[in-house]
Structure 1
Amino acid sequence: MKIENKLKELGIELFPGIKPIGSYVPFVQSGSLIYISGQGPSIMGEYTRYLGKVGEDITKEEAKEAAAVTAVNLVSILKDAVGDLDRVKRIVSVHGFVNSTPDFTEQPYVINGASDLLVELFGEKGRHSRCAMSVNSLPLNICVEVELIAEVEQ
């Protein structure tokens, strides 16, 4: 099934033209690899939900949902980068950062929100290596940030 059809089936709307909040570009292509800069759980560019520390202000379930929202933003940038998402050969790697309290230890559960969505969209091509770690804080007080590397057909 084409990725565009899968997005429609899942009721996922991509957001083209996501702008960086700093001095960097949304993605860089080197050869067949696309490196997508860390993204947060903005909804149409607004960071009004999913703010605070997981384990204090945000539940692990809300943070997992935030990671899935973040994955939609990553896929939106990936589409901007490649034009046709069916050119994606593989999601290679995902790095997830969780703004959490010192005693919170379920970062892998939270970042599963992003990983699960990528596998749901891309199937076996969406299975990837991954890092899920805790951080003391994130920009704008968001609860998660995720970056992605994808391989695409040349």
Structure 2
Amino acid sequence: MGYEERLENEGYKLPEQVKQSKRLFEGGVRTGNLIFVSGNAAKVDGILKYQGIVGDTIAIEEAQDAAKIAFVNCLATVRNMMGSLDGIKKIVNIKGYVASTADFIEQPEVMDAVSALVNEVFGEAGKHSRVSMGTASLPGGTPVEVEIVVEVK
């Protein structure tokens, strides 16, 4: 079973991505066998599923869902660049930015939802390094933004 099928078995379908002409940067850049994917928000059909600040208007469970959706959107960039997720050799690094209140300290728990999904879908190839950090706000009001680095064949 391929990675995309495994992802669907976990309840996530890769979205089709539309090239955005106004961006001054790429959604993903390949150098050698690495793809660096720019930050993605929790958008479903181009619309943010959640808006707000974790610890205020966003519950930790909503933030975890937002983080997984953002991660899946990162994978869509990889698929669009490679034609398939099956070219992924390793999930190298995941960075999670959590818009949160000053006293919210559970950013790692928000990103644990992504790590669990990665480990389930990618198995040994999903063993990754990670950063979870809090920030005052994120673009468009998204509560979570995720970026990834993957090694490809």
Q: TM-score, normalised by structure 2?
A: 0.93
Q: Which amino acid aligns with 2:102?
A: P
Question: Could you say which residue in structure 2 is the equivalent of 1:42?
Answer: 43
Amino-acid identity (%): 40
Provide, for residues 72-130 of structure 1, a one-character-per-residue CA deviation record: whole Å limited to 9, x for no partner.
Answer: 11111111111121111100001110000000000000012222222221111112000
1:18–1:77 Cα contact (<8 Å) kept: no
> 5 Å matches for 1:114-129?
114-129=114-129
Alpha-carbon separation, structure 2, partners of 1:52 and 1:4: 30
- Asked if 1:27 is matched to 2:28, the reply is yes
Q: TM-score, normalised by structure 1?
A: 0.92
How far the C-alpha of 1:5 sits from its partner, in A, is: 2.5
- What is the total number of aligned residue pairs between the two structures? 152
How far the C-alpha of 1:19 sits from its partner, in A, is: 4.3
Summarize the Cα distance change of 1:19–1:46 in structure 2 as closer, same or farther, 3 Å threshold.
Answer: farther
Q: Where do 5+ consecutive residues of structure 1 fail to align?
A: none
Summarize the Cα distance change of 1:144–1:129 in structure 2 as closer, same or farther, 3 Å threshold.
Answer: same
Summarize the Cα distance change of 1:107–1:19 in structure 2 as closer, same or farther, 3 Å threshold.
Answer: farther
Task: Please report the RMSD computed on the Cα atoms of aligned residues, expressed in angstroms.
Answer: 1.4
Question: Could you say which residue in structure 2 is the equivalent of 1:60?
Answer: 60
Describe the SS at the equivalent of 1:55.
coil
Structure 1 residues 117-126 or 86-95, which shifts more?
117-126
Question: Could you say which residue in structure 2 is the equivalent of 1:136?
Answer: 136
Alpha-carbon separation, structure 1, partners of 2:134 and 2:150: 23
Question: Could you say which residue in structure 1 is the equivalent of 2:106?
Answer: 106
How far the C-alpha of 1:18 sits from its partner, in A, is: 4.5
Question: Could you say which residue in structure 1 is the equivalent of 2:73?
Answer: 73
